[in-house]
Amino acid sequence: MAAAVQSEWVTITVNDIELKVPKGELIVESVKRLGLEIPIFCYHPRMKPVGMCRMCLVEVGFKQPDGSVRKMPKPQAGCTLPADNNMVVYTDTEMVHRDRKGVLEFLLINHPLDCPICDRGGECPLQNNTIFYGPSTSRFTELKRHAHKAFPLSQYVTLDLERCIQCGRCVRFTEEISGDSQLAFRFRGADMQPSTYQLTDFESKFSGNVIEICPVGALTNAKYRFRARPWDLETKPGTCLECANQCSTYFDYRAGKFVRLNGRINESVNEEWTCDKGKFGHEYYNTPDRLTQVLVREGREFRKGTWMEAYEQILKEFGLRKPEEEGILVGGRVSNEGMYLLQRVAREVFHTDNLDSRWTRTLVPTTETWHAKLGVPQHQNTIASLENASTILTFGNNFADEQPIVYLRVRKAWFQNRANVIVASHEPVEADAFATCVLRYAPGKAAALAEGLHHLVKGTGDAAEVARATGVALPSLQQAVALLSGPTVVLTSDSMLNDPTGADAVLHLAQMARAQGGTFSCFKTYGNAQGAEDMGILPDRDASGRVLGQPGLTAQQMLEKAANFELKLLWLVDCDPFTLHPDEQLVRDALESVEYLIVQGSVGGEAAGYASLVLPSAAPAEQDGTYTNIEGRVQRLRQVLPTPGDAKAHWRIFAELLLRSKPGKPYFGATEVLDEIAQTVPGYESVHRDLEGDGTLVRSGAPVTA
């Protein structure tokens, strides 16, 4: 929050009540300790205070040696006033009431009275403050100022200029948080308005946040406009699975249909921010392409089938083929419970290890991963810890696209704590804008640069030779080596494995970080990829962590063998290979050549057109389940929406297959599957605890605290 990080505490008095607060804490935050509130518009606890709206005016004085209180002659802005010893604050005096009423009266002079049709109506801070602190009637009888209505800043954000109160929150967000600085105030006085440079589209990857922090209905959600009123909506906590950060969200729905998604406070993950990919990427819940019934191919057409028929068909088709001729590929929206039961079905029923959830060109065996080779933990950084790092090296990827929340944390480390950020990539990325040093290497030279940095940091390399071999400018390389002299947080992602030399680069980076006493993280890039690995959706390791003696086929090998008619049966579990795999032609050849294709998912993608059998599954918010993010944090997502048609949760599909093939005790809920996971999967022993808050952090085979 906005409280200053101080070890020194001071005594202040608020409304005749003494309390101790950190020295320098803003008064607007101090009064919250007593359960009081100072009304605000421009202030936001995650941005620098500016004191623009004057809504937070309070009376302030200081205790004198004789016990009297000497007040300041004029009211002070509580959002910019730091707490100091002997300070006396009054938030409920006649002067304060008069000032608040005056500020609101001025704001409402030209504010349109369109609350009944405003999307912000019912959840509007201006409405709330007016009701609590504003005048009961208006003295303004002249014509109000008129401006543009519903001006599209982008495909996601719509500006209603008449409602703007010039608080500057949106502008400051793009300058301080997202860093793209795409919004600024144009003109002066009554004509001042937030706008993009030369009226271009507002193309920020985090533009949806300005809608949520706008204290009026000036910036609205173009996808949500006029779809519902706040009191029509039901809201439940959710988890976004559009990337592996897994941000905490609020899921708003009406009459069983998804309406919108907002950020939910989780200090350990996303604070309260979302990326546009997550905020606006959930319309698939309402798409007409939703799969709602079992489909069985007959010739060139599909007919409606039943689940009983589907299970019999699956068991029959797997029984007709050898285990080495069968393969299962998995996507990122399957819960841990679904992943766990799927690997049980594959290994215990179909006796195959040909299952994988990794979609990169290079797939490293379990025994050859960087953490296995070095004997170090896989997760060495939490998301929240990144903002406290003094030196950060991001290598080989664009975090603003792949890891949006990690990108915001890295930028926060630079913006608030002046961290040195070194960016190494073969093309321009967003982080270049605030990087202390940029290492632009030639394509295909990732491993050469990583190895060169490792040797240079140890003092055993030649900077000029590394510069020649990688294409990096020598001065930049020398500057980077100087910055890397101390412990460094080294970050990359598994998208590096799409580079021919990416696997070697990852190993060299991990070795460098270890040698200098730093930390290293190679983050997953999609959905529940970390959970899939932990649950044993790998060709060479099961859910108990046991490395298999005779490993199965990787995703790449399965697609290649299918394209060569060597893989006879392929099961796609909530994944679209056309979007996940980098080689679209290979995917097309594989799906055209495989004898029997099962497509299981919530939305019918291109792959469904090749299917022999289509199984409708519930989307994440339509089922109970847990998911594991890039730092090893497990969060629970409870069912929000009803499951459409005949669709079933992934875990239930696999549980019913298990029951049909090997009689035993049935699972009556996802929680029972999680209990079994806690007994089987290393590190998940106490995963069922504290899942309702920030989640439970599991790393290196054992739960740890953040």
Residue 269 lies in a domain: no
Q: Residue 214 pLDDT > 90, yes or no?
A: yes
What is the mean pLDDT of the segment spanning 314-323? 93
Residue 653 lies in a domain: yes
Q: Which domain holds residue 46?
A: 9-92
The vertex-539 CA angle with 536 and 541, nearest 5°, equals 45
Tell me the pLDDT band of 705, cut-offs 50, 70 and 90.
very low
Residues 508 and 456: their CA atoms lie apart, in Å, by 12
Look up the CATH number of the domain holding residue 138: 3.30.70.20
Question: Six-digit token pair at 69?
Answer: 């209180």
Same domain, 556 and 694: yes
Question: Six-digit token pair at 216?
Answer: 């009026």
**Strand 76-77, strand 57-63: pairing:** antiparallel
What is the mean pLDDT of the segment spanning 462-472? 93
pLDDT digits (tens, 9 = 90+) for 54-70: 999 999 999 998 888 89
Lowest average pLDDT, out of 192-196, 212-216, 528-532, 569-573, goes to 192-196
Same domain, 699 and 554: yes
Which residue's structure tokens are 């309070």? Answer: 58
Same domain, 331 and 468: no
Residue 650 lies in a domain: yes
What is the pLDDT at residue 676? 93
How far does CA 662 lie from the centroid of its chain? Answer: 39
Which residue's structure tokens are 């008449």? Answer: 162
Q: Residue 2 pLDDT > 80, yes or no?
A: no
Residue 49 lies in a domain: yes
Q: Residue 659 pLDDT > 80, yes or no?
A: yes
Between these two residues, 375 and 564, which has the higher pLDDT value? 564
Residue 267 lies in a domain: no
pLDDT digits (tens, 9 = 90+) for 266-316: 999 999 999 999 999 999 999 998 999 999 999 889 999 999 999 999 999
Look up the CATH number of the domain holding residue 623: 3.40.50.740
Q: Of 478, 506, 480, 476, which is closest to residue 397 (Cα–Cα)?
A: 506
Same domain, 391 and 510: yes
- Are the CB atoms for 439 and 472 separated by under 8 Å? yes
Give the residue from 483, 506, 523 where a domain finishes. 523
Give the residue from 173, 189, 221 where a domain finishes. 221
Residues 207 and 182: their CA atoms lie apart, in Å, by 9
* Tally of CA atoms within 13 A in the half-sphere of 653 that contains its CB: 32
Residues 682 and 543: their CA atoms lie apart, in Å, by 8
Same domain, 54 and 112: no
Q: Residue 703 pLDDT > 50, yes or no?
A: no
Q: Is 374 exposed, middle or buried (0-12, 13-18, 19+ CB in 10 A)?
A: middle
592: Cβ–Cβ under 8 A, 6 or more apart, which residues?
A: 610
How far does CA 385 lie from the centroid of its chain? Answer: 16
- The three-state secondary structure class of 615 is strand
pLDDT digits (tens, 9 = 90+) for 67-100: 888 999 999 999 999 999 999 999 999 999 999 9
Beta strands in 432-497 (DSSP E): 437-440, 489-493
Q: Which amino acid is at 468?
A: R
pLDDT digits (tens, 9 = 90+) for 133-179: 998 888 888 888 888 888 999 999 999 999 999 999 999 999 999 99
Which is it for the CA torsion 619, 620, 623, 628, positive or negative? positive
Residues 254 and 629: their CA atoms lie apart, in Å, by 28
- Are the CB atoms for 224 and 260 separated by under 8 Å? yes
pLDDT digits (tens, 9 = 90+) for 630-653: 999 999 999 999 999 999 999 999
Same domain, 46 and 108: no
Residue 148 lies in a domain: yes
Same domain, 491 and 588: no
What is the per-residue DSSP string for 18-40?
Answer: EEEEETT-BHHHHGGGGT-----
pTM of the predicted model as reported, rounded to 2 decimal places: 0.93
Same domain, 549 and 666: yes
Same domain, 544 and 655: yes
Same domain, 340 and 386: no
Q: Residue 700 pLDDT > 80, yes or no?
A: no
User: In percent, how much of the chain has pLDDT > 70?
Assistant: 98
- Are the CB atoms for 619 and 232 separated by under 8 Å? no
597: Cβ–Cβ under 8 A, 6 or more apart, which residues?
A: 569, 570, 571, 572, 591, 607, 610, 611, 612, 613
Q: Residue 594 pLDDT > 50, yes or no?
A: yes
The three-state (H, E, C) secondary structure of 236-293, written as one string: EEEECCCCCCCCEEEEEEECCEEEEEEECCECCCCECCCCHHHHCCCHHHHCCCECCC
Q: Of 88, 112, 95, 111, which is closest to residue 31 (Cα–Cα)?
A: 88
Look up the CATH number of the domain holding residue 27: 3.10.20.740
Q: Residue 1 pLDDT > 60, yes or no?
A: no
Residues 174 and 177: their CA atoms lie apart, in Å, by 6
What is the mean pLDDT of the segment spanning 393-414? 95
Same domain, 393 and 509: yes
- Are the CB atoms for 78 and 56 separated by under 8 Å? yes
Structural domains of the chain, count = 4
Q: Is 35 left (phi over 0), alpha (psi -120 to 50) or beta?
A: left
Give the residue from 493, 523, 553 where a domain finishes. 523
Residue 370 lies in a domain: no
How far does CA 691 lie from the centroid of its chain? Answer: 17
Residues 626 and 619: their CA atoms lie apart, in Å, by 13
Residues 236 and 251: their CA atoms lie apart, in Å, by 5
Question: Six-digit token pair at 323?
Answer: 């285990």
Residues 386 and 268: their CA atoms lie apart, in Å, by 11
Tell me the pLDDT band of 702, cut-offs 50, 70 and 90.
very low
Same domain, 519 and 660: no
Residue 279 lies in a domain: no
pLDDT digits (tens, 9 = 90+) for 183-201: 999 988 888 889 998 888 9
Look up the CATH number of the domain holding residue 407: 3.40.228.10
What is the mean pLDDT of the segment spanning 105-122? 90
